[in-house]
Chains A and B, each alone.
Chain A
Amino acid sequence: MSADYNIFVTEETIEGESDGPLANKTVAVKDNISTEGVRTTCGSEMLDEYVPPYDATVVENLKAAGATIVGKANMDEFGMGSTTETSAFGPVENPVAPGRVPGGSSGGSAAAVAAGEADLALGTDTGGSVRNPAAFCGVVGIKPTYGLVSRYGLVAYANSLEQIGPLAPTVEEAAELLDVISGPDEYDATTREAGADSDYASAATGDVDGLTVGVPTELVEGADEGVRERFEETLDDLRAQGATVEEVSLPSVEHAVEAYYVIAMSEASSNLARFDGVRFGQSGGFEGNWNESFSESREAFGEEVKRRILLGTYALSAGYHDKYYKRAQDARAWVKQDFDETFADVDVVASPTMPTPPFEAGESLDDPLQMYLADANTVPVNLADLPAISVPAGTVDDGLPVGVQFVGPAFGEESIIRVGSAVEETA
């Protein structure tokens, strides 16, 4: 029963075409992806009655591919969280690690796959929100290259960073779903020709003979001992299959968390200005003046959302823009440069997806900064617009899942799918 884990905000079946590559497959769709005629809440009280009048492009893709959508998956409010505890509809429980969070913000999507409530799921990844819950729930998750998948119909949080991505029990199934949703879209000007006639699924061969894997010490040394052990074992397995593993250095990633949060919060403060209670969302009433009604309407946001809107507003305000936003953009360019240089020497970059096993429920809610710091390994990928996959790499402490992340060069989805499938065969 899905109710046990609070996986869905809305359980409703949307039938696709009778035939196609995903015929007979059920898919859970994160609740920030628009579904025509089916409530789309973003995990927020602000949108608890919002019913989109149109489908997101990826939802049209799912229907055309014959998939059956089984529900809208619970999530951190507007994608702002790493535990799926900031949802206005209550937290999601981790189906494979009782008492622990499922990760976030796509926690409902990952839990749906882990619990068998759906064969596949769509999540969104702004700073790790597909890979983090994939790692914590022991499933596969892919964050595509920026521009590979259309964001039309995705309710925006931080547009320059986010991509919709697949979650699945296996690398091949995740790649099949990526094949369905990738490609150019006239409604999203940031999409490219790449991915139009993709066959990512056929890259899941498990063949890593001759592949070079780079390991940045900066993303390994901060991880828990048990997580590091699983990671080292994964590297040993890859070596045994013919891959070469070498150390690389990405000094810029030491500043990735602060750069990511400054940029994401700044973009959020602008994006979420649309929620004024007039065209959609909770109304602030019609009695007072516009500013007061607007402020009142926006009391419907949860605390993490308010925190990010305020910090973003602060970082962009006169006198602080150069100090925070401009430096964060410098850091972003630096991270990009670091990865570019690294991919001149290696095919993929590997690290633990998360530095720890799943947190205990309630553990990180009181200290937002601690929660942000847990994203250290996932946010560099979004800053650099690159593709990455999280693949299960065993467990620690009696069954807590650990994920390993592989990052590829821009539009190099095949490389990360190939290496991911090799890990899976030995797990």
Chain B
Amino acid sequence: MSETSPDPEEVRHVARLARVGLDDDEVERFTDQFADILDYFETLDEVPEIERETDLANVMRPDEERECLSQDEALANASETEDGYFKGPNVS
């Protein structure tokens, strides 16, 4: 078992960070499974540092107006809308 693998409270913490609701059974299973999986991931320690290629380039296009979805199309899959806008829960 990995020394750094998360305990149940840390699993809940990560789930809160990711905004994923978990029930108690899931927390228990994930705690066990994460220990195994993270233990395995730790073999990455054996990987040497590599000179990476740095020939990546951003691809840009001119910022010009062009055809896009209509407001109705964009809203079609929202569970609720209001006055042509998406409706979301309270932010505060």
Residues of A within 8 A of B (CB): 49-51, 53-54, 186, 189-190, 252, 255, 257-259, 261-262, 269, 273, 276-296, 298-299, 301, 303, 306-307, 309-311, 313-315, 317, 323-324, 327-331, 333-334, 336-337, 368-369, 372
Contacts and interface: CB of A to CB of B under 8 A. Distances in A.
Interface residues of B, number: 49
A189 B59 contact: yes
A283 B6 CA distance: 30
B19 A334 contact: no
Nearest to A285: B89
Interface in B26-61: 26, 29-30, 33-34, 36-38, 40-41, 43-53, 59, 61
B84 interface: no
A290 B89 contact: yes
A349 B37 CA distance: 29
A303 to B, nearest CB: 7
A359 to B, nearest CB: 18
Contacts of B40: 257-258, 369
B73 interface: yes
Contacts of B1: none
A262 B40 CA distance: 11
A283 B59 contact: no
Contacts of A293: 88-89
A334 B30 contact: no
Which 7 pairs show the lowest CB-CB distances between chains A and B? A283-B79, A293-B89, A280-B77, A189-B59, A327-B44, A53-B73, A333-B50
Nearest to A295: B21
11 contacts: A262-B41, A280-B78, A283-B80, A288-B89, A298-B18, A303-B29, A307-B33, A330-B49, A333-B51, A334-B50, A369-B36
A334 B41 contact: no
Contacts, number: 153
A328 B47 CA distance: 8
A283 B48 CA distance: 45
A337 B90 contact: no
A261 B87 contact: no
B88 A278 contact: yes
Nearest to A337: B50
Given A315-B41, A331-B47, 16 more contacts: A51-B77, A53-B74, A189-B61, A279-B74, A281-B77, A283-B80, A288-B89, A289-B89, A290-B88, A296-B21, A306-B20, A310-B18, A311-B34, A313-B18, A327-B47, A328-B44
Contacts of B41: 258, 261-262, 315, 324
Contacts of B15: 295, 306, 310
A249 to B, nearest CB: 15
A273 B15 CA distance: 12
A259 B44 contact: yes
A59 to B, nearest CB: 16
A239 to B, nearest CB: 35
Contacts of B19: 273, 276, 291, 294-295, 298
Contacts of B77: 49-51, 53, 279-281
A41 B86 CA distance: 21
A104 to B, nearest CB: 19
Contacts of A282: 79
